[in-house]
Amino acid sequence: MSMLLVGNLKADVRDATQTDPLHRQNRSETLPEQHCSFAQQYPALVGASEYGELFLSIVERTGVGLAVLNPQLRIQQTNEALLEHCGQPRFDLHGFDFSELLHPSVRQHMRRQFERLLTGRSGRFVEHLAALWATRTAFTGSLTGMAVQGDAGQLKTIVVLVAPDKGEDDRRVLISPNKILTEINAKILEGVATGVPTVQLAAKLYLSRQGIEYHVSNMLRQFKVPNRAALVSKAYSMGLFGVGSWPPKVLSEYVRR
C-alpha cells in the first residue's frame, strides 16, 4: 500500500508541477528549513507510511496544496499552499470539516467521493472542478483524494492534494453563495435546464405561458445572456446547480425564500 501511494503521489505531483502557478524556482530557498520539520508539521501523514516524509518533500517543492484528514473528514494537517489556495492564509483549520471549505455546487458530489474512500469502494479519486472553494470562487483546479491504510488494513488517513489550473478562463463566472433567485425563478431555471417545454412547465407551476416567458426574460437580463441555452450554460458556470445531479437542481444557497 505504501509503495502504491508513493507512485500515485509522484504522478499527481508531477502533473501539478506542470500547471501550478505557484511553482517558482526561488521556492527552493525555503526548503531546508521546511524539510527539517516535516515530521513535526505533518505527523498524521508521516505516521501513515514509511514514505510519508518523502511525500511531503515532493509536495512542498511543487506548491501543491496538501491536507491530511481523519476518517471523519476533519483536517489534521495542512501546508501553506493549501491555505493560500482556499483563501484562508492565516486561519488554523485543524479540526475543521474539510467539506465545509468546498463550494456549495460541488460539496455534495465531493462528499460522495470521500464516502467511497471511507467505505473502501475506491482507493483514490481525481476531480477537476470549475468551482472548488466556498470563499475563493475564482479558484479552479484539480483535487485528488487518496486513502491511506494502517498496518491492520483499516483506513487511517485521507490525503488530499489540490493543484490549481495554470491559467484562468475568462468565460467562467463563479459567485459566492448569495440569494440571487426567487423560488419561482429557480424552478423555472431548473425546468429550462432539463428541457421541459414551456407549456408543460407552465402547467406544472400553475402559471400561464406568458408568465413563464416573463420570468425567463427577467433572468436573461439579470444574467446578461441572449437566450435560454446561454442562460443554462451560465447557471452551470456560476455553480448554481449541484455537480453530478440530474435533473438539475438549484442549490438552496442561491434561493430567496
Q: Choose between 77 and 61: higher pLDDT.
A: 77
pLDDT of residue 16: 44
Q: Among 1.10.10.10, 3.40.640.10, 2.60.120.10, 3.30.750.210, what is the CATH number of 181-256?
A: 1.10.10.10
Q: Which of 197, 158, 202 is nearest to 184 (CA)?
A: 202
Listed by start position, the domains of the chain span 2-164, 181-256
Find the length of the chain. Answer: 257
Prior bond to 247 cis, omega within 30? yes
Record the pTM: 0.55
Cα distance from N-terminal residue to C-terminal residue, the chain:
49
Helices 228-237, 183-194: axis angle to 10 degrees equals 110
Q: Which CATH superfamily is domain 2-164 in?
A: PAS domain (3.30.450.20)
Residue 60, pLDDT score: 64
Instruction: Give me the mean pLDDT over the 183-208 stretch.
Output: 93
User: What burial class does residue 109 get, using C-beta atoms within 10 Å of its C-beta: 0-12 exposed, 13-18 middle, 19+ buried?
Assistant: middle
Matching residue, cell 468551482: 131
- State the greatest distance between any 2 C-alpha atoms of the chain, in Å, as a whole number: 70
Query: Residue 30 has which C-alpha cell?
Result: 525555503
